[in-house]
Chains A and B, each alone.
Chain A
Amino acid sequence: MYREDSRRHNLFSRRAVMLGGAQLLMSTVLIGRMYQLQVIDAKKFQMLADENRINMRLLVPPRGRIFDRNGEPLAVNGMNYRVLITAEQAPDILQTLTALKRILDIKETDQERILREISRRRSFIPVTIRESIDWSTVSKIEVNAPDLPGISIEVDQTRQYLVGSKTSHILGYVAYPPPDLKQSDALLRVPGFRVGKTGIEKYHDLQLRGKAGNSQFEVNALGRVIRELKREPGVPGNDLILTVDLPLQSFLSQRLSNFKSAAGVLLDANNGAVLALASVPSFDPNEFNTPLPADSWLAISKSPYQPLMNKAISGVYAPGSTFKMVTALAALEYRLITPNQQFFCPGHYTLGEGRFHCWSKNGHGRVNMKQALQQSCDVYFYELALRLGIERIAKVARKLGLGEATGIGLPGERLGLVPTPLWKKEKLGRSWQGGETLLAGIGQGFLLSTPLQLAVMTARIATGKRIKPYLLRASMLDGRIEMEQTEEASGIALSPRNLKIIKEAMRAAVNTPLGTGWGSRLTGSGHQMAGKTGTSQVRRISREERESGIKKNEDLPWKERDHSLFVAFAPTKKPRFAISVIVEHGGSGSKVAAPAARDILLEALRREPSSVLTAVEKN
């Protein structure tokens, strides 16, 4: 037995050594694998582990504020409070909601939505109960917090326009970015982030947006946030300081709101700074912070008065008689007439088979240039236009800023139109007719201009400088003010003597009893204004109607009435302000647009907007 066991022991020992060897070999494999994972590939796995646990959230930077020229705030950032419920913190969701109903009215459909969202999401993700609640409700909820387990309040930014509809066409508004834009920038995908849709908000959107910050936080496998690891605050958007003078802007907006549909622009005639710019009817940009209800949107977008359109830059109208300065200037520049040369106006003008009428049925008799502008005699300008030809008229019109973008720095600016035979051939495929030159001579026919272009034209005539309108005066970054570089306006390349003749005629048009603007002359301010009325026809008057007596505007449907225009500058001695006003389908220029322009110029002369940024620096 002992020998037997000794044999077994020997065999066992040999086998044990083999087994031990095998086990050592297996252990070596494990060590090799450990080395591979933990030393060779460690970097890769460390990155993967961080990818697992670190999530990043963008922090929305505060949007840049917008101020008027004196530092009065126009657009600032307000707070939006929303009520949230977090399911895992509420022992009984229905009970919490019932308690909340004593403070906040929750409709049955809302409650269904809330419960549905709660059931779909993980229990630690808050669900929104209500957006934009007011401060008193917030404080009520805070006070009752012990009875409202799971309820919390979250704050985010909203845009607030302090004078609402009064600056809406300059500032524009912000709204959620459209889905197709969201791909371009991660910041746009942050819930609640808004971008500029029109106006300054859109034109300077990137500057106003600032740079997003980010917050890195640790999450577990379920997505629950454990702690914040790192926070990089973003860079707030630049504050913008506009050239607009808030009191004048309010006044203009207020004065125009008497009309159904109108627009007006007030410029600093010497440098083109836009002091006020308004279009009526307007809209309240604050309403666009959250998506508008469908019926409100429909009411705004389908209105015949087009409240969303900035008519001062996007509305194009025949300039009518306000264009007569251009025709007159051109005739002087090309030395076709002398200022004192007279033409006879019998009330109409015949060209070939066509008969062109003066607005005064009985005619103005013999008129020279000053009288023609003063009384807005059409026949005089038919004669001038015919002598000039359309090309030369167009050339001077362009020098005064018509038919091209002014570059004011707002989206949606239209070019208007200064027609030429070449243009007509290309666009309409027909050749230029002589009668079309006559119509252009009095600002009708194909001619189109925006109210802003007319204001620019007036300012250029008034100062002889090639001013360009601008809205952005300065931007503010970290409390440092950076003035916008505006180049000194060059001369307009028109003879100052000729300009003086036109300006004197414009002065006469307002300040002499026969002038079309006599009713709107400035009284009691110690200043005079020079201006020109315009009544731009939007329908064709037939021969029958002309014979039976032209219908009065009051007897026509609104859409067929004449546009009422007026351009002016003041004071006549050293001009400081230039203005243009158009009242859509308002009727006669002298009766409707001119008084409005007068009131605004009076207010401007009274205020004399400062050109220093004192108030802003205090902010």
Chain B
Amino acid sequence: MSFETSYDPREISLGRKLKMVSWPLIFMLCALSAIGFCMLFSAGNGNWEPWASRQLFRFCFCLVLMLFIALTDIRVWLRYSYFLYFLGLALLIAVELMGVIGMGAQRWIDLKFIQLQPSEIMKIALVLALARYFHGISIDEVGLVRWLIFPIFMVLVPVALVIRQPDLGTAIMLALSAVVVFFLAGVRIWKFVLTGILVLSALPVIWSLLHEYQKRRVLTFLNPESDPLGSGYHIIQSKIALGSGGFFGKGFLGGTQSHLSFLPEKQTDFIFTMFAEEFGMIGGLALLGLYLLIVAYGFFIALRVRNQFARLAALGIVSVFFLYAFINIAMVMGLVPVVGVPLPLVSYGGTSMLSLMVGFGIVLSANVHREIQMDRSGDAL
């Protein structure tokens, strides 16, 4: 077989692959990250330390990794997708066990150069694994419930593990990205509606099963402004910062809320607030526009690809990217509860950037290898 595949007509030379890499997308990702560096520079009160320089260094590393992934045959990623999924699952269980053994509740594994968050890896791995699964079944099988039981378990296991961390925000994000892949794979819409109704009607039952202190925790989680000095303080200050930025903003390094420490977590979850305070609504619209442009480019790639795995993977990853941006911006503007979701590629954080750049590597790979057609097991036709 290996002899035959080496003569595969669809096997493309490295030079040609490099030409086929979607450079506009890479440029937009670089622009987005550059905005991130500037904001981290501002968050450090005009210093490269402690955030901007490290983020820049990480980005360079991730950029190289992304290119490497982009040039790797998409079939390799199909083959390794289940492996990646189980690796992510194993790491999730590992942090769970570390917590049990007595290091306290923990979400990351310290690899010295990076603090690896398995839940971040899971974001991409779950999309890949689901794409692999739906690639392997026919359009008629997708319509049958028994073919959906296995992928539902693939979603529920990591979601349950992440809830236990406890990180409800990431768990919901995982579930939502899974819903996107299910949707794109062609699962009937009435099934989503039914599931939605079932979950909603189950909520009161679950609510009644909760202890009093758990209920209280959920309530403050849902309505932080009932507690203006505690968790509500963050969102109130964030809205003040955003609003006071006005239409044109206070200017780079001129955000009073951010630089006088009224705004918390300005380098991570609330970095959009800082951006919108300093660059106003114009800046906010431009940043949102850049996100939408990247997402649109992802759609463009996914629609051109000639195999189901790459289509689902590419659009799944791009949708995860969009969801993160949406939830983060909605969160800092007080539209949804504060759930601890970073602004993709702008917020300071290693694992998040790593997993997103790996994801975009796969999107790029899908584009490079868009002409490849595969059978259900992933072999080229």
Contact = CB atoms under 8 A, between A and B. Distances in A.
Interface of A: 1-2, 4-5, 7-9, 11-13, 15-16, 18-20, 23-24, 26-27, 29-31, 33-35, 37-39, 41-42, 44-46, 48-50, 52-53, 218-222, 226
B285 A31 contact: yes
A169 to B, nearest CB: 53
- Ranked nearest first, the 6 interchain pairs of A and B with the lowest CB-CB distance are A45-B243, A49-B244, A220-B260, A221-B261, A38-B281, A42-B246
Interface string B308-321: 10011001000100
Given A16-B303, A33-B330, A34-B281, A53 B256 contact: yes
Interface in B118-166: 138-139
Given A12-B184, A38-B281, A226-B260, A20 B245 contact: no
A8 B302 contact: no
Nearest to A222: B261
B306 interface: yes
Contacts of B185: 12
A30 B242 CA distance: 13
Nearest to B312: A12
Interface string B270-312: 0000001000110011001000100110010011001110011
Given A5-B373, A12-B186, A27-B288, A49 B333 contact: no
Given A16-B184, A26-B326, A52-B257, 18 more contacts: A8-B139, A9-B306, A9-B311, A16-B302, A34-B284, A34-B285, A37-B242, A37-B333, A38-B242, A39-B247, A42-B245, A45-B243, A46-B243, A46-B246, A48-B243, A52-B260, A52-B262, A222-B261
Contacts of A11: 139, 186
A19 B183 contact: yes
Given A4-B139, A35-B281, A52-B262, A42 B308 contact: no
B354 interface: no
Given A5-B307, A20-B299, A46 B244 contact: yes
Contacts of B257: 49, 52-53
A27 B260 contact: no
A38 B284 contact: yes
A29 B373 contact: no
A458 to B, nearest CB: 70
B239 interface: yes
A9 B302 CA distance: 10
B139 A7 contact: yes
B49 interface: no
B285 A218 contact: no
A49 B256 contact: yes
B335 interface: yes
B240 interface: yes
A49 B299 contact: no
A39 B246 contact: yes
B174 interface: no
A29 B237 CA distance: 21
A222 B243 CA distance: 22
Contacts, number: 142
Binding site secondary structure of chain B:
helix
B335 to A, nearest CB: 6
25 contacts: A1-B375, A1-B381, A7-B139, A11-B139, A15-B183, A19-B184, A23-B292, A23-B295, A23-B319, A24-B292, A27-B288, A27-B326, A34-B281, A35-B281, A38-B242, A38-B247, A38-B280, A41-B243, A42-B243, A45-B242, A48-B240, A48-B244, A52-B240, A52-B262, A53-B262
Contacts of B243: 37-38, 41-42, 44-46, 48-49
Interface string B224-239: 0000000000000101
Nearest to A15: B184
Interface string B250-263: 00000011011110
A41 B242 CA distance: 10
A226 B183 CA distance: 53
A570 B139 CA distance: 128
B333 A34 contact: yes
B330 A30 contact: yes
Contacts of B319: 19, 23
Contacts of A12: 184-186, 302-303, 308, 311-312, 315
Interface in B323-379: 326, 329-330, 333, 335, 373, 375
B48 interface: no
A106 B240 CA distance: 47
A220 B261 contact: yes
A49 B326 CA distance: 25
B180 interface: yes
Interface of B: 138-139, 180, 183-186, 237, 239-247, 256-257, 259-262, 276, 280-281, 284-285, 288, 292, 295-296, 299, 302-303, 306-308, 311-312, 315, 319, 322, 326, 329-330, 333, 335, 373, 375, 381
A451 to B, nearest CB: 63
A13 B261 contact: no
Nearest to B282: A38
Contacts of B247: 38-39, 42
Nearest to A219: B260
A12 B315 CA distance: 10
B330 A23 contact: no
B181 to A, nearest CB: 10
A330 B306 CA distance: 130
Contacts of A49: 240-241, 243-244, 256-257, 262
A609 to B, nearest CB: 61
B240 A45 contact: yes
Nearest to A20: B299
Nearest to B305: A9
A35 B240 CA distance: 14
Nearest to B291: A27
Contacts of A226: 260
A481 to B, nearest CB: 48
B137 to A, nearest CB: 10
B186 A30 contact: no
A5 B333 CA distance: 42
B338 to A, nearest CB: 15
A27 B292 contact: yes
Nearest to B186: A11
A326 B186 CA distance: 120
A30 B285 CA distance: 9
Contacts of A4: 138-139
A143 B240 CA distance: 47
Nearest to A39: B247
B236 to A, nearest CB: 9
Contacts of A50: 244
Nearest to B373: A5
A218 B254 CA distance: 13
A35 B284 CA distance: 10
B322 to A, nearest CB: 5
A2 B292 CA distance: 32
B326 A30 contact: yes
A8 B308 contact: yes
A468 B31 CA distance: 87
Nearest to B381: A1
Contacts of B322: 23
Contacts of A30: 288, 326, 329-330, 333, 335
Nearest to A14: B186
A45 B244 contact: yes
B178 to A, nearest CB: 14
Contacts of B296: 20
A54 to B, nearest CB: 9
Nearest to A40: B243
Contacts of B259: 220
Contacts of A2: 373, 381
Contacts of A26: 326
A49 B254 CA distance: 13
B224 to A, nearest CB: 17
A182 B354 CA distance: 61
A218 B237 CA distance: 17
B94 to A, nearest CB: 34
